[in-house]
Structure 1
Amino acid sequence: MATWFTEKQTENFGITAKVNRSLHKEQTDFQELEMLETEEWGRMLLLDDMVMTTEKDEFVYHEMMAHVPLFTHPSPKKVLVVGGGDGGVIREVLKHESVEQATLAEIDGKVIEYSKKYLPSIAGALEDKRVDVQVSDGFMHIAKSEREYDVIMVDSTEPVGPAVTLFTKGFYEGIANALKEDGILVAQTDNPWFKADLIRQVYGDVKETFPITRVYTANIPTYPSGLWTFTMGSKIYDPLQVPDERFQEIDTKYYTKELHNACFALPKFVKDVTEGD
């Protein structure tokens, strides 16, 4: 008899995947972690029964989190990723030759450990000499940093458990302080079908903190609704004013130079979330 995993994305809706086997499951100090082998999506990382990443579609999220801000900034040298213990965003960050150091601040060391073991195509870049892996609280890491980073990426889970503080105005203000005078923030901000209020809140908080604030989207089929948003806050550089010569050829499966601008063209109902009805 087949085994299926269902993520209940709302009280009335979920997605289901056929499971071949469970590779590992444990309760860490912060959350329940499980690594599944699925028929459709390959290996799948779950945290508290929520899909974090899969081998088949992981490239979308990781590329869009990393390349949009890194091509917006003219010379990103020092990058911080808060969360993201699977290593996918770090892998994409390292494709930019200007990056001299990429710091990972992941609160749950077990996510790093089992991603390295079961998701080497995603986590392999964590061994790169330019990467500083810190098992630490990203909120506190930000609080202790001042004018240190060119780009900060918040690769968090949904705002539950240890990630709650990563969706507060105080956190974004701390990020602004941790960024250099021309720094850029990008954070994953969930989906507009089920979490419009969250997107509205984050957009408002970031807009009050950064001179330039923009929302962009990507299609990630294993995330709730499939339509995902990212919110960018920038001190100087507008992602819609990137000169052509700044775009360099890198190995991607989703992100392109043309998509860089196109992803900011929001469906009307998503635009209404940030601009009001």
Structure 2
Amino acid sequence: MELWYTEKQTDNYGITAKIRETLVTEKTDFQDLAIVDTVEFGRLLVLDGMVMTTEKDEFVYHEMVAHPALYTHPNPKHVLVVGGGDGGVIREIMKHPDVEKAVLVDIDGKVIEYSKKFLPSIACELDNPRVEVIVNDGYMHIHDHKNTYDVIMVDSTEPVGPAVELFSRGFYQGIYESLKEDGIFVAQTDNPWFKAELIQNVNRDVKEIFPIVRVYCANIPTYPSGLWTFTMGSKKYDPLQVDETKIPDIDTKYYTPRLHKAAFALPKFVEDLCK
């Protein structure tokens, strides 16, 4: 008998993958959590029926959350990750030796626990001495830490359940206040095929707060539609003004110095959403 995992990404569309083994299923205090081992994508972390990360394509998302912002800011010493309990963004941040401290705040400690156990290649830097892991509400952490961080990265689920507030204007205002005077933030902002209105709303809200706002894209096969957007808000530094010849080659599989600016060249229909 064959077992298949299917994510219904819209009412009329989904993806499916053949399962080798179900490693864990649990209803945590905040969401339904599962980790399954698939033939095509390796182990999948699934929250509330949505694929969060997979062993095969995780590097795209995690690299593109971390490196564009860290190479735009000239001196990122203190970095915050909201969400991201699987540890992938933290792993990428740790490739930057100038970062003195990275704080990860995830509301669901079970995501951190099971990622360490079943996704060690992703969660491998969570015990790094430069990393502080806090199980708490990221929204409240932002509001309790003014003028604290050089870079803030929002690695959230889609805007359902505990992540709804992480797509609100009040949250972006809190991020602005939590950043230092030349700070940068970046957030995953879903896909333009099925969530065009979300991208428009986020872009509008962030533009009302940050003087520099840029949207960029990456290809992530297991995310809805495969085309994913990220929104960067900056108080001072423009990612399009970065001298790519000064970006060092680091151990990545997707992000490169040449891709830094290229990722901001949007397809016309995505560009139109950001006007």
What is the TM-score when the length of structure 1 is the normalising length? 0.98
Q: CA deviation at 1:245?
A: 5.1
Structure 2 counterpart of 1:254, one-letter code: Y
Does the 8 Å CA contact 1:85/1:106 hold for their aligned counterparts? Answer: yes
Q: What count of residue pairs does the alignment treat as equivalent?
A: 275
Look up the equivalent residue of 2:91 and give its one-letter code. Answer: R
The answer for the alignment partner of 1:203 in structure 2 is 203
Match of 2:117 in 1: 117
Q: Deviations over 1:208-229 (max 9, x none)?
A: 1000001000000000000000
Alignment of 1:1-277 (within 5 A): 1-244=1-244, 246-275=246-275
- Residues in 1 aligned to 2:84 and 2:268: alpha-carbon distance in whole angstroms: 30
Q: Distance in 1 between matches of 2:209 and 2:103?
A: 23
Aligned amino acid, residue 127 of structure 2: E
Distance apart, 1:243 and its partner CA: 2.1
- Write the letter of the residue equivalent to 1:162: P
CA contact (8 A) 1:5 1:17 kept: yes
Letter in 2 for 1:229: T
Measured against aligned partners, the alpha-carbon deviations of 1:46-100 in whole angstroms (never above 9, x if no partner) come to 0011000000000000000000000000010000000000000000001011100
Structure 2: tracts of 5 or more residues without a match? none
Give the secondary structure class of the aligned counterpart of 1:127: coil
Q: Secondary structure of 2:99's partner?
A: coil
Quick one: distance in 1 between partners of 2:36 and 2:28? 16
Q: Is the 8 A contact 1:79 1:150 kept in 2?
A: yes
Q: Structure 2: which amino acid aligns with 1:12? A: N
Query: Secondary structure of the residue that 1:217 maps to in structure 2?
Result: strand
The CA distance in 2 between the partners of 1:124 and 1:94, in whole Å, is: 10
Contact 1:152 1:175 in 2 (8 A): yes
Distance 2:244 2:160 in 1: 40
Matched position secondary structure for 2:240: coil
Q: Match of 1:223, SS?
A: coil
Q: CA RMSD in A?
A: 0.6
Per-residue CA deviations over 1:14-49 (Å, capped at 9, x if unaligned) read 000000110000000000000000000000100011
SS of the aligned residue for 1:46 comes to strand
Matches of 2:251 and 2:224 in 1, distance apart?
Answer: 27
Q: SS at the partner of 1:183? A: strand
Quick one: distance in 1 between partners of 2:257 and 2:248? 9
**Whole-angstrom distance in 2 between the partners of 1:260 and 1:205:** 24
Q: Secondary structure at the match of 1:121?
A: coil
- Separation in 1 of the partners of 2:5 and 2:244? 44
Query: 4+ residue runs of structure 1 moved beyond 4 angstroms?
Result: none
Is the Cα–Cα contact under 8 Å of residues 244 and 260 in structure 2 kept in the other structure?
A: no
Which amino acid is 1:163 matched to? A
One-letter amino acid matched to 2:116: K
* Long gaps (5+) in structure 1: none
Which amino acid is 1:185 matched to?
Answer: F
Alpha carbons 2:249, 2:256 under 8 Å: kept: no
Q: Any idea what the Cα deviations from partners look like across 1:133-189, whole Å, max 9, x if unmatched?
A: 000100000010111000000000000000000000010000000000000010000
Q: Percent identity?
A: 69
Distance in 1 between residues matched to 2:21 and 2:262, nearest whole Å: 39
**Deviation of residue 246 (structure 1)?**
3.6
